[in-house]
Amino acid sequence: MVLAKINTSSVFLVSGGGRGITAECVIRLAQKYQCRWILLGRSRIADAEPAWAEGCTDPADLKKRIMQAMQAQGEKPTPMAVQKQFNAITTSRDIRKTLETLQNIGSPAEYVSVDVTDLATLKEELAPVVDRMGAITGVIHGAGNLADKWIENKTEQDFENVYATKVQGLDNLIHCIPIGQLDHLVLFSSVAGFFGSAGQADYAIANEILNKSAHLIKLHHPECHVVSINWGPWDSGMVTPELKRAFARRGIEVIPIEVGTQMLVNELNARYHDQAQVVIGSPIVPPPADLDGELRSYRIRRRLTVEANPFLRDHVIGGNPVLPATCAANWLISLCTQLHPGYLFSSLENFKVLKGIVFDGTQAKEFVADVQEVGKTHSEEVHFEVRLWSEQDNGKIRFHYSGQVKLRQELSPPPVHLISKFATNSTKSGLSYYQDKTLFHGATFQGIREVLEADDRQLRVQCYLPSLNPRHQGQFLADAFNPYMADVLIQTVLIWLKEQHQSGALPTEIQQITQFKPLPFDRPIFALMETKVKTSTSIIYNVTACDEDGTIYLHLSGVKATISDRLSQLFGTLVSSHS
């Protein structure tokens, strides 16, 4: 199959393309390809501006002139009437600016004022433009409406206005231009459709239909480059500084215009021809709901298999995959964050490995989590007791893990540590510890890069893990808490014990995990392991993790590990293609 490329002969039909973010995308594509454009929009371009508006660009001054003009004509300048005239003037200016910019780039463009939900008018208006510009080879469906309200407050008309522009608009566009003649079909969807978004039920439904439509169209027209882009919020005029701060509190990053428009150019590269859907933006996390006084309890069941969790093949002891303690901690934490969306993981206390889960063929088929809310503080914090257990074939209950989880609406500002400032001289490569089986971990967990300093009390290391495919993470996604990077921190004691005492250990208890920011992939992290108590059979230690600027992400205090020569032997017997 020969893949069509965009060139100067390409003709794109763009709904919602006269102004705003869609227009910015058109301009960036025009700079790259100098192709032809037919831009659609509901707004009309005024033939000429009133003389009193010419040259006035300050919004407050322009509104003042509108009020004066209305009064001079004997009209009452109500806020709604003033805003309507203001919008008409500024919209016309924006569309003219888009057309002028495209002309200066050398990319021919025409603007058609039409509602994409009106099929008959759309066909009628398009016909003469197509005669002038040439056959349409690409469609970008960027039109959209918003009517954000709680679903119980939405009217049928609200829903219809939002839904029809996206869904009926797409249907009408592909009725005007047969898909068989298209080289490119680009749908501007939203993370609201992929993740859901409070107050946007209609918008989420419409955008998810675009997503599914992209997959269906691609199935039947594999030669066409079809992609539904699930955009997050853009850093545009609609995102005020206050709204941006609100997004930041929820961990939602806005997309800079330069970055987003270039990402669109990248997505239309032929090497992404088979990707029918892509998400560009942060997950939408709902704002935390107000807490009531009722303390609820939950029982949640989960089945675990090695096949569903590929990372387990990189955590094998004595020939059997073993669930890492940090993944068990992630399990407890994610249960709680899913029960209270928008609340952030703050700490896990008294975490205990009572009987770890070993995938040796005798493990339980199903595991049960008992989650009990034990406290709610000033509508800001929720405290939980969590226990994980399973029922054995003989009917007996076996407890596996337990701990107390604390969620907060906002996390405390991260403190600063000087770990990275003093950790500059590498004494040994971290890879050597994986090669000699001091560290038994396979590729998923091989995050120790350099040992920077070691003595009889502490160890300083530099860590780094590349991003893991969500499929590889299986049921233990690194969202609220990154168990893969946390496991790397736990590994520091194994290096220290090997260097100081020629022994191995496995964690059995963590007094407290305090999180200020989730541990990241794809970024160097410096860790300081400090021993507190050491006996012949156990060790208690702390680990602090920060970035190169000293910002602390995570602190593990009171980590207790069982020391055993047999563990060293088990680590050494590993034979794994993942190591």
Q: What is the mean pLDDT of each run of 10 residues along the chain (579 residues)?
A: 84 95 96 96 88 90 92 91 90 93 96 96 95 96 90 91 95 93 95 85 94 96 95 79 71 87 93 92 76 92 95 94 97 95 93 96 94 87 96 91 95 79 67 91 96 90 93 94 97 91 85 95 94 93 93 96 70 38
Sign of the CA dihedral with 464 first, then 467, 471, and 477 last: positive
3-state secondary structure of 562: strand
Taking alpha carbons only, the member of 505, 71, 551, 560 closest to residue 351 is 560
As a whole number of Å, the CA-based R_g of the chain is 29
The domain ranges of the chain are 11-42+114-280, 307-408, 419-572
Going from the C-alpha of 128 to that of each of 110, 122, 133, 172, the distances in angstroms are: 11, 11, 9, 17
Per-residue buried b or exposed e for 312-341, using 16+ beta carbons within 10 Å of the residue's own CB: bbbbbbeebbbbbbbbbbbbbbbbbbebbe
CB contact at 8 A, 210 and 166: yes
Tell me which of 3.30.10.20, 3.40.1190.20, 3.40.50.720, 1.20.120.420 is the CATH number of domain 11-42+114-280.
Answer: 3.40.50.720
Claim: this prediction has a pTM higher than 0.85: no
What is the reported pLDDT for 2? Answer: 66
C-beta atoms surrounding 48 within 10 Å: 8
Domain 419-572 CATH assignment equals 3.10.129.120 = yes
CB contact at 8 A, 463 and 447: yes
Tell me which of 3.40.640.10, 3.10.129.10, 3.30.70.20, 3.30.310.10 is the CATH number of domain 307-408.
Answer: 3.10.129.10
Query: Which pair of structure tokens corresponds to residue 217?
Result: 């169209």
Residue 445, CA atoms < 13 Å, CB-side half-sphere: 28
Q: Give kind and range of the element (H or E) at residue 404.
A: strand 397-408
Query: Rounded to whole angstroms, how far apart are CA atoms 2 and 40?
Result: 30
Q: Do domains 307-408 and 419-572 have the same CATH topology?
A: yes
What is the reported pLDDT for 564? Answer: 75
